[in-house]
Amino acid sequence: MAVKRVTINQVAEKAGVSPTAVSFAFNNPEQISQETAERILSVARELGYSPNPIARAMILQRTGVIGVLVPFNISTTFANPFISSFMQGVGSVCDQRSLSALVVSPYEGSLEEATRRALVDGYIVLGLDEKHGEIEPLRQRGIPIVVVDGDAETVSEVNVDDEGGAYDAACHLLARGHRDILIVTFQQPAPSHLDHVYYGVGGRRLAGYKRAFADHGLEFRFNWIVQSLTSIEGGTAAFSQAWEDGFRPTAILALSDAMAIGVLSAAKHLGLDVPRDLEVIGFDDIPMAVLTCPSLSTVHQPIVEKGRLAAELLVNSLAGDRKPERVSLPTRLVLRDSTYPSVER
Amino acid sequence: MAVKRVTINQVAEKAGVSPTAVSFAFNNPEQISQETAERILSVARELGYSPNPIARAMILQRTGVIGVLVPFNISTTFANPFISSFMQGVGSVCDQRSLSALVVSPYEGSLEEATRRALVDGYIVLGLDEKHGEIEPLRQRGIPIVVVDGDAETVSEVNVDDEGGAYDAACHLLARGHRDILIVTFQQPAPSHLDHVYYGVGGRRLAGYKRAFADHGLEFRFNWIVQSLTSIEGGTAAFSQAWEDGFRPTAILALSDAMAIGVLSAAKHLGLDVPRDLEVIGFDDIPMAVLTCPSLSTVHQPIVEKGRLAAELLVNSLAGDRKPERVSLPTRLVLRDSTYPSVER
DNA sequence: TAGAATTTCTAAAACCTTTTACTAAAAGGA
DNA sequence: TCCTTTTAGTAAAAGGTTTTAGAAATTCTA
């Protein structure tokens, strides 16, 4: 077992002062004479003492940790390259402000339970609406949150133009004459209110695709939507399965790059040439997208910036800022080698 | 400010019992009658109460969080694709055991200070020796640690055969006749004892290269080693700079895939054909390595497995297991398209 | 029915800080 | 010199839970 931790009392005793003085030496040196402060700190060093962070968190009512709330377990979350970029952005703020960032995943299946147990000061909520059943209690408890990729009313939110980006991607393929477009979507946490089947990021991206179909006078075939895990392997599996099921698409719209890259890999395996036999457009523009072979056409969104902004807003909120802000960042279609360029007109 | 949190006393009062009973209702239901337990829980639900996790951590002397201690700041850490895979492994154990994983970065420059402030139960120490100045105090405080990619004596360690893998990579290039091999290394945290200039993973990999050179009767030119940030951008910058500085290597040995991929990108930019003009071998075999164009030859190490094992050992140690274990995983050279196959003999 | 055993619940201590309000001593002002 | 102000330090409360030891009430045993 861990060695009994040195406490403030032991330091106080050995230095011949009160615990208060020791606390002051660490947090408020101007309250005591420089001489005493130095003596205390030297005793503390000698004993290997430093204030117990948990006791500190208890009294200060803050942990110095930002939670990033995700609806998937930890290993799934880190299997999605999106999160690395996002955490980079969140991390840049944390680095500046001397904070940490903790990924908070469902606790034994329950996201709400996870939020009850996590030692964090506030949450960046990823991919869930403020109204979601798991989020609502946070609001009630007055815990600061910022919603990313979801709808919020009373708290700050950061979104990108998912619908517009998706629309552009679909239009590009439709304009090139594709009709058999397979859509690869990620699994969505069940919506808490069933107004619409799809919601959140996924919903907005699908809505963009759908609008593009409509604008081209085409029916949107829901049975040409397949679900996939949000990872490279997931995309590979989903496309292979679809192929086995008899789908013979000439183009793919994937809701994330990870899945799109998985499709690329599956296609190669099936002997399909991208883009000749199959054009593919992803979503996100993760750093990997430019490196794949062929490089991936995709809808760019500023992931790192999104994380940075979300963290910034949360930090403001933590500092007592009550006014919610609503940020929307642009997306843009980036054509690389997994598609042909637009037809000339 | 946050709404005042509901406390155990309020629940106790409203339910007409003692705080103890409320605590039992949550943690030890068999200590009280089922009827009372239900009443308490229903009052708790009504009031939106759940035990304050900080107070809980205080008394239980555990947080349920595993620290992953890294010598870089958070955004740098997540810019390195290695960490995603590693966290996947760590996460898989956390998911099983209902734990969280927190990346612990230097606090205002000091890793030791970070370890004093972090709300974690133990550490997976990444890339630092047990003897490192920052780690030693942890040992003294009796905080469980597992060393990954570093040397440990009194605690568990997980390593891979860095030296052997590096040796194989260098041999491959040397056997193909390359003499002007540029080595791209990552920046190393300053060693705490200066027995050798290079130590840790970096040291072992360089030692492998060096042995290969020696076995081929060649001098190991230290001035053909360039430093790089451990990221794709870092590799790009480092190679571009080296090129500008007049280096004209025919092959590259990179200490990590991230940097190797950066080199690939810089080479493309310079109009160099890989592998014709430049053969490149990385290290790690991150998932991205198979996707780049050309795909990256590299030394495979089981990153996810390494994370999983480290977490497992730490969990054991947390559970009171005092016997340190020493795990070494194999590496193997994986030849893809950034090199030519071995010359036939 | 008396005594023992069990069930149900509670009081109080423990966990370790920070902070407020206050005292005592020293310094400053007239 | 006397009164006021400042400096240096302290006692005690607060933060919210878990757990130990024990009390009171109930059930069981013979």
Q: pLDDT digits over B267-283, tens only?
A: 999 999 999 999 999 99
Contacts of B276 (CB under 8 A, 6+ apart): none
> B287, B290, B231, B279: which is closest to B255 by C-alpha?
B231
**In chain B, which residue's Cα lies nearest the Cα of A264?**
B291
Across the interface, whether the CB atoms of B117 and A53 are under 8 A apart is answered: yes
What is the rounded average pLDDT for all residues in chain B? Answer: 92
Quick check: A110 CB within 7 A of strand D?
Answer: no
As a whole number of angstroms, the distance between CA B85 and CA B202 comes to: 19
Q: Indicate whether B345 pLDDT > 50.
A: no
Instruction: List C-alpha distances in Å: A291 to A216, A297, A309, B77, B211.
Output: 32, 11, 26, 20, 33
Q: B283 and A309 in contact (C-beta within 8 Å)?
A: no
> In this complex, is the C-beta atom of A60 within 8 Å of any C-beta atom belonging to chain B?
no
As a whole number of angstroms, the distance between CA B296 and CA B305 comes to: 21
Q: Using CB atoms and an 8 Å cut-off, which of residues 151-190 of chain A contact chain B?
A: none
Instruction: List C-alpha distances in Å: A198 to A63, A151, A182, A195.
Output: 36, 13, 17, 9
> B76, B77, B85: which is closest to B286 by C-alpha?
B85
> B284, B292, B223: which is closest to B263 by C-alpha?
B292
What's residue B343's pLDDT?
A: 63
- Interface probe for A, chosen from B87, B97, B336 (most Cβ of A below 10 Å), is B87
Angle between helices B200-215 and B162-175 (to 10 degrees): 40
What's residue A260's pLDDT?
A: 97
Give the A:B interface size as CB pairs under 8 Å: 164
Could you tell me the distance in Å between the CA of residue A33 and the C1' of nucleotide C30?
29
As a whole number of angstroms, the distance between CA B15 and CA B41 comes to: 9
**pLDDT tens by residue, chain A, 345 residues:** 456 789 999 999 999 999 999 999 999 999 999 999 999 999 999 999 999 999 999 999 999 999 999 999 999 999 988 999 999 999 999 999 999 999 999 999 999 999 999 999 999 999 888 888 889 889 888 899 999 999 899 999 999 999 999 999 999 999 999 999 999 998 765 544 444 456 788 889 999 999 999 999 999 999 999 999 988 999 999 999 999 999 999 999 999 999 999 999 999 999 999 999 999 999 999 998 988 889 999 999 999 999 999 999 999 999 988 899 999 999 999 999 999 997 644
CB-CB: which of A54, A90, A98 is closest to B58? A54
As a whole number of angstroms, the distance between CA B299 and CA B333 comes to: 4
Confidence of residue B78 (pLDDT cuts 50, 70, 90): very high
Q: Is the peptide bond before B275 cis (omega within 30 degrees of 0)?
A: yes
Q: Å from A332 to nearest chain B CA?
A: 22
Long-range contacts: A23-31, Cβ < 8 Å, 24+? Answer: A23/A51, A26/A50, A26/A51
What's residue B57's pLDDT?
A: 96
Strand A297-300 and strand A279-284: the pairing is: parallel
b/e per residue, A193-219, with b = 16+ CB within 10 A?
A: eeeeebbbbbbbbbbbbbbbbeeeeee
pLDDT digit string (tens) for B162-215?
A: 999 999 999 999 999 999 999 999 876 554 444 445 677 888 999 999 999 999
- Find residue A147's DSSP bridge partners: A125, A157
Quick check: A33 CB within 7 A of strand C?
Answer: no
> A232, A231, A239: which is closest to A270 by C-alpha?
A239
> In this complex, is the C-beta atom of A75 within 8 Å of any C-beta atom belonging to chain B?
yes
Tokens of A55: 């006791």
DSSP codes joined into one string, B166-189: HHHHHHHHHHTT---EEEEEE--P
What's residue A147's pLDDT?
A: 96
Q: What's phi and psi for A104, nearest 5 deg?
A: -105, 115
Tokens of B23: 């605590």
Q: Indicate whether B12 pLDDT > 50.
A: yes
Query: Which residues 26 to 65 of B reach strand D, CB within 7 A?
Result: 26-28, 49, 51-52, 55-56, 58-60
Across the interface, whether the CB atoms of A118 and B53 are under 8 A apart is answered: yes
> In this complex, is the C-beta atom of A111 within 8 Å of any C-beta atom belonging to chain B?
no
Across the interface, whether the CB atoms of B291 and A291 are under 8 A apart is answered: yes
* Residue recorded with tokens 């054991």: B316
> In this complex, is the C-beta atom of A48 within 8 Å of any C-beta atom belonging to chain B?
yes
CA torsion A6-A7-A9-A13 (nearest 10°) is 20
Q: Is B49 helix (H, G, I), strand (E, B) or coil?
A: coil
Q: What's phi and psi for A259, nearest 5 deg?
A: -70, -40
Q: Which residue has the higher pLDDT, B57 or A191?
A: B57
Strand B251-254 and strand B181-186: the pairing is: parallel
Contacts of B243 (CB under 8 A, 6+ apart): B266, B270
> In this complex, is the C-beta atom of B111 within 8 Å of any C-beta atom belonging to chain A?
no
Across the interface, whether the CB atoms of B94 and A74 are under 8 A apart is answered: yes
Q: A110 and A132 in contact (C-beta within 8 Å)?
A: no
Quick check: B9 CB within 7 A of strand D?
Answer: yes
> B20, B23, B69, B76: which is closest to B231 by C-alpha?
B76
- Residues of chain A in contact with residue B232, where contact means CB-CB under 8 angstroms, are 287
Could you tell me the distance in Å between the CA of residue B20 and the C1' of nucleotide D23?
15
